[in-house]
């Protein structure tokens, strides 16, 4: 790490602590030449993820879109926003852990439905009806029947 004051390349770490809710590390350093102190932050590098949409187009993954879809499905339901944010984080982490740089919207949609099913069944059915594009009442009923059979 180069000293911002004198440019010397050697420094020692004086203090380290987690920062930004544990997603990075804050380090206080001291230059071995001029003895001035400075702060650095160490964060994990995340590779960009590309989402392949149904029409074949590609766009970068946005956690906010996943969260927004879950919020719409949970409107007027007793599901705390903190729970939905946690689920969105879990989905993003699952996708990152898969180490695939390109992911199909079907994979994301299935994960969202699986998470919502465990939190609120009405929200799950709402999301599934839009995601799977239920054409008529029979498709809707077959999904509800499957849900009831799982219980």
Cross-strand bridge partners of residue 19:
24
Are the beta carbons of 28 and 14 closer than 8 angstroms? Answer: yes
**105 pLDDT tier (thresholds 50, 70, 90):** very high
Provide the pLDDT for residue 39: 95
Portion of the chain with pLDDT greater than 70, in percent: 99
Mean pLDDT of the chain: 89
Question: What CA–CA distance (Å, rounded) separates 127 from 148?
Answer: 17
Portion of the chain with pLDDT greater than 90, in percent: 58
Provide the pLDDT for residue 97: 86
> Residues 37, 43, 47, 48: what is their CA dihedral angle, to the nearest 10 degrees?
-90
Provide the pLDDT for residue 13: 96
Query: Structural domain boundaries of the chain?
Result: 11-43, 50-150
Flag whether pLDDT at 84 surpasses 80.
Answer: yes
Reduced to 3 states, what is the DSSP secondary structure of residue 19? strand
pTM above 0.75, yes or no: no
Flag whether pLDDT at 44 surpasses 80.
Answer: no
Provide the pLDDT for residue 32: 96
Provide the pLDDT for residue 57: 94
Best-predicted range by mean pLDDT among 19-23, 29-33, 42-46, 135-139?
29-33
Question: What CA–CA distance (Å, rounded) separates 74 from 96?
Answer: 25
């Amino acid at each position: 790490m180069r000293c911002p004051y004198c440019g010397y390349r050697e420094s020692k770490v004086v203090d380290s602590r987690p920062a930004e809710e544990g997603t990075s590390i804050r380090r206080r350093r001291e230059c071995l030449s001029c003895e001035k102190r400075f702060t650095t932050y160490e964060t994990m590098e995340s590779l960009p993820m590309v989402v392949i949409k149904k029409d074949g187009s590609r766009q970068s993954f946005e956690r906010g879109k996943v969260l927004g879809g879950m919020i719409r499905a949970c409107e007027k339901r007793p599901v705390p926003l903190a729970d939905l944010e946690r689920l969105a984080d879990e989905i993003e982490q699952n996708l990152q852990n898969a180490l695939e740089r390109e992911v199909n919207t079907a994979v994301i949609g299935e994960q969202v439905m699986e998470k919502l099913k465990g939190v609120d069944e009405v929200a799950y059915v709402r999301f599934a009806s839009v995601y799977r594009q239920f054409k008529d009442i029979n498709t809707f009923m077959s999904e509800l029947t499957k849900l009831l059979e799982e219980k």
